[in-house]
Each structure stands twice: as C-alpha cells, then as structure tokens.
Structure 1
Amino acid sequence: MRVCGCEISGKEVRLAAVGLTDQGDLELLRLKTTRIELVDDTSEADLRSFLADLQAFSREHEIDTFVIKTRAKKGRMAGGAVSFKIETLIQLVEDCQTRFVSPVALAHFAKKDLDAYPEKLPVYLKNAFLSGAYALTKKGFLT
C-alpha cells in the first residue's frame, strides 16, 4: 500500500509518497514530483489542470490514499481560502481515499513513534512525510 502525505502551503501542495518495505519499515519513495502548484485559483482551467495533475500523480505512483495535515479554519494560524480549494481538489481525486491528521497527532507521532527521518529528506517535505508515515503505522487509521 502506498499513501501520499500532503501539506498544503500557500498555493501549492507538497507531496511525499510513503510505502512499507517487505520488512515493514517505512520507505520514502523518491519521486520527481514533490509539489503541485495552483497557479490561479479563480481560473476554471487552472483548477481543472491542478486536479488533472493530482489524478496523473496518483495513477503514476499507485497512490491509494492521500493524507492531509489539517489546518485551522479560523484564528491567527488559519489556512487561507486557496488552501481549502486545494484540499477539496485532493478529495476529488478518483480512486483515492482522503484522510486528515492533526498537527498535534503528527508532533506526538514524531516524538514517540518515529525512529528516524529518511536520509536526504528535504525540509519542506517533513510534514508531508510525517502525514504519510502516520497513516501507515497507526492501526485502524486507513480503514
């Protein structure tokens, strides 16, 4: 099973595909595409293009589930309107499930359950990787 951890930031989604090895260890899949940007959120063509890019990504890399790090809906740390459009487009990807994980759960997971980050993990993919790793290791999360 492969999942794709997602962190939405500004006008882009950061993608980290995570799988399990035959030994049951977490594995970050080294992919060419690690971000997809929504150029103009008011353009129907750009929205459709963004969704098509997500569809192609999920098919090409055999992604079963997208796992999104949630953002606050109000308050000082709230996500912007564009980020919620991106979230919706991720949920519309055909033949893929979408799950959400809170930043608090990710922080606890990183401290208590994660042995180490993969070598050469780019800093901007840390939270996306954590989302995917959390989904694969927490029993019952993907059911």
Structure 2
Amino acid sequence: MSTQKICGIKIDSNKITIVVLIGSKGNFEYVDTRITKIELQDHSKQENVKSFKQTVEAFLASEDISLVAIKGRATKGTYAGGAISFKIEAILQTMEREVKIIPPNSISALLKKKPVDLSMIKNKYQTEAAQTAYFSLED
C-alpha cells in the first residue's frame, strides 16, 4: 500500500486554509508547506477564478496529494456557509484528483472517540484543516 498524502482544507469566506498530512491515522506526519492559505480575489472576475484554480492545482501537484478533504459547511441556518465559499468548493471539486467533503459532525465524533495530538501544526488557524485531513487518513 502506498503512503497517503492528504490535503485538508477549511473554506472560510473567500479563502482556503490548507494542511498536508502523510501516513495513516496510527502513524502520520505533518508536512510543513510554504503555502498555508490561498485567497480568491474578486470572485466576479473570471481571470481571478481561473488564477485561484491554477494556484490550488499547482500546489496539489507540487505536494503530490492523493486526496483533498474539505471540511463541509452548513447549507442553511445561522452557521450556513456564504455563497463565495460554495463557489470555492465547486472549484475544488473540479480538481484532477479525488476530493471528498467531510461533514463536521463526523470529524467531531471521531475526535471524541479517538483524540489526536495535532500540536505539531505550525499555525493555530490550521487546526480545523488538520482535523479534516486526519479524519481522511486510513486507519
């Protein structure tokens, strides 16, 4: 079995926060990447949307990512994601690799059952992306 390299993504407004983990749930490493966030500037301009997609694709290719795991967002209610965040999600789903959207309650349930130390993550703001990547690692 080859080693999994997972890119966990948290979408927040017009940007994505990224964490890369490699290995399995029982034995994984944090990959310290130069890029930790990618922003979609003025989403109404086609060239900006294309540039965002190209930047993300280049990052995923340079890191040789096996799977992109996106933390899901609510579609309605008080904590519903904004329109731009769903546009970003759609862009990510067109990437040339496997993409999964992970429900936040599934991540919470796993972490409650199997707590994990993610203190090696470089920036605190990357925690939710790291949890999403961890969820997606094989056992």
TM-score of the superposition, structure 2-length normalised? 0.91
- Corresponding residue to 1:15 among 18, 33, 52: 18
- Corresponding residue to 2:81 among 79, 82, 89: 79
After TM superposition, the structure 1 = structure 2 runs for residues 99-110 of structure 1, keeping only pairs within 5 Å, are 99-110=100-111
Query: CA shift at 1:137, angstroms?
Result: 3.5
Change (3 A) 1:100 1:40: same
Distance 2:86 2:62 in 1: 25
- Corresponding residue to 2:72 among 67, 70, 73: 70
Change (3 A) 1:91 1:120: closer
Q: Any gaps of 5 or more consecutive residues in structure 1?
A: 139-143
Q: Which residue of 2 aligns with 1:38?
A: 40
Report if aligned partners of 1:16, 1:34 keep a CA contact under 8 Å in 2.
Answer: yes
Fraction of identical pairs, as percent: 28
Q: How far does the alpha carbon of each residue in 1:49-95 deviate from its partner, in whole angstroms, 9 at most, with x for none?
A: 0000011001100011110110011111100000001001111111x
Distance 1:130 1:56 in 2: 23
Q: Which residue of 2 aligns with 1:111?
A: 112
After TM superposition, the structure 1 = structure 2 runs for residues 46-65 of structure 1, keeping only pairs within 5 Å, are 46-65=48-67
Distance 1:28 1:111 in 2: 21
SS of residue matched to 1:59:
helix
Q: Which runs of structure 1 show a deviation greater than 6 angstroms over 4 or more consecutive aligned residues?
A: none
The letter of the residue matching 2:84 is V
Query: CA shift at 1:120, angstroms?
Result: 4.6
Query: CA shift at 1:114, angstroms?
Result: 3.1
TM-score of the superposition, structure 1-length normalised? 0.89
Q: Any gaps of 5 or more consecutive residues in structure 2?
A: none
SS of residue matched to 2:49:
helix
